């Protein structure tokens, strides 16, 4: 059944949003849940009068993050997101963090234990997504990360944070509406990868922080990944009608996958 939720954003100019949950029926105890949210705004017309956000939630007891290194923009290891996910044993995944024109990762990247780049500063490197040596997934503030504590086998830095402690992060840009990919954490055992139609960072920050966006799993943290033409999302549980295959338009340096903990290494 469709659920319509009215969110008041009048003080920030994001008034009259409406969220329709069009998620497919799934077992409530499944460790892997896909969701589809359709978002519209009163009075808007045109191609993006309605916008979509797709999410793939996973339970950390069963799944974790895997960073896949694509090695080079000019001579990529994988022809695309779909190929990278399937060859790496991932049930879902998206593009990863930012990178420089010479293909080097922006900030620290660890893929299958191999370290590249360096731990960086700045808003676009304010968050750390990782799988620890104990195969536990984490979404951390940069200041919370310790290499000796977490012993990460897979890690990327990205940013900015859209939501932290359940609250919209201040100072997010209200300009440049773009397709976005991001990672979510409910503060407990559930994490998600997501792809949205064009939004500004400020719009997404407000929408994701509202408890009505995800009533069953409140968004405790949300971290922006590389967006625009880099954005893509893959999901294949192996069941009819539950496949998502949105390829990035451009070649990306790395990917973030969701992999069963039993085969993460």
The residues spanned by each domain of the chain are 58-263
Task: Check residue 175 and give left, alpha or beta (phi > 0: left; psi -120 to 50: alpha).
Answer: beta
Section 204-229 average pLDDT:
94
Give the pLDDT confidence score for residue 40 in this predicted structure.
87
Pair 160, 106: CB distance under 8 Å? no
Confidence of residue 206 (pLDDT cuts 50, 70, 90): very high
Do strands 254-260 and 178-185 pair parallel, antiparallel, or not at all (unpaired)? unpaired
Section 42-60 average pLDDT:
85
Place of tokens 């105890």: 29
Strand ranges for the chain from DSSP E: 4-7, 17-21, 32-41, 50-59, 63-69, 92-95, 109-111, 114-116, 127-131, 137-141, 154-158, 161-164, 167-168, 178-185, 190-199, 221-224, 233-235, 244-246, 254-260
Confidence of residue 48 (pLDDT cuts 50, 70, 90): low
pTM: predicted TM-score of the whole model, two decimal places: 0.91
Give the pLDDT confidence score for residue 12 in this predicted structure.
39
Give the pLDDT confidence score for residue 11 in this predicted structure.
34
19-28, 85-94, 138-147: lowest mean pLDDT where?
A: 19-28
Confidence of residue 49 (pLDDT cuts 50, 70, 90): confident
Place of tokens 């799944």: 63
Give the pLDDT confidence score for residue 3 in this predicted structure.
31
Evaluate if residue 204 carries a pLDDT over 70. Answer: yes
Evaluate if residue 26 carries a pLDDT over 80. Answer: yes
Give the pLDDT confidence score for residue 5 in this predicted structure.
33
Give the pLDDT confidence score for residue 46 in this predicted structure.
67
Give the pLDDT confidence score for residue 124 in this predicted structure.
94
In this prediction, what percent of the chain has a pLDDT beyond 90? 80
């Amino acid at each position: 059944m469709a659920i319509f939720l009215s969110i008041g954003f009048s003080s920030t100019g994001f008034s009259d949003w409406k969220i329709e949950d069009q998620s497919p029926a799934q077992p409530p105890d499944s460790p892997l849940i896909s969701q589809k949210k359709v978002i519209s705004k009163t009075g808007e017309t045109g191609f993006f009068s309605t916008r979509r956000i797709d999410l793939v939630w996973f339970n950390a007891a069963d799944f974790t993050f895997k960073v896949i290194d694509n090695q080079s923009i000019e001579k990529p290891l994988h022809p695309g997101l779909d190929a990278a996910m399937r060859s790496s044993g991932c049930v879902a995944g998206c593009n990863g963090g930012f990178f420089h024109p010479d293909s080097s990762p922006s900030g620290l990247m660890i893929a299958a234990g191999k370290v590249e780049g360096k731990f960086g500063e700045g808003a676009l490197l304010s968050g750390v997504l990782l799988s620890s040596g104990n195969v536990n997934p984490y979404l951390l503030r940069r200041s919370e990360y310790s290499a000796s504590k977490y012993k990460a086998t897979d890690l990327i830095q990205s940013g900015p944070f859209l939501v932290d402690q359940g609250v919209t992060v201040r100072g997010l840009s209200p300009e440049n509406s773009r397709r976005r990919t991001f990672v979510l954490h409910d503060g407990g055992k559930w994490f998600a990868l997501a792809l949205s139609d064009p939004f500004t960072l400020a719009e997404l920050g407000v929408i994701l922080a509202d408890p009505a966006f995800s009533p069953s799993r409140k968004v405790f943290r949300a971290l922006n990944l590389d967006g625009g033409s880099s954005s893509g999302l893959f999901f294949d549980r192996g069941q009819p009608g539950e496949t998502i295959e949105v390829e990035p338009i451009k070649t990306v340096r790395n990917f973030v996958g969701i992999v069963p903990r039993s085969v993460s290494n």
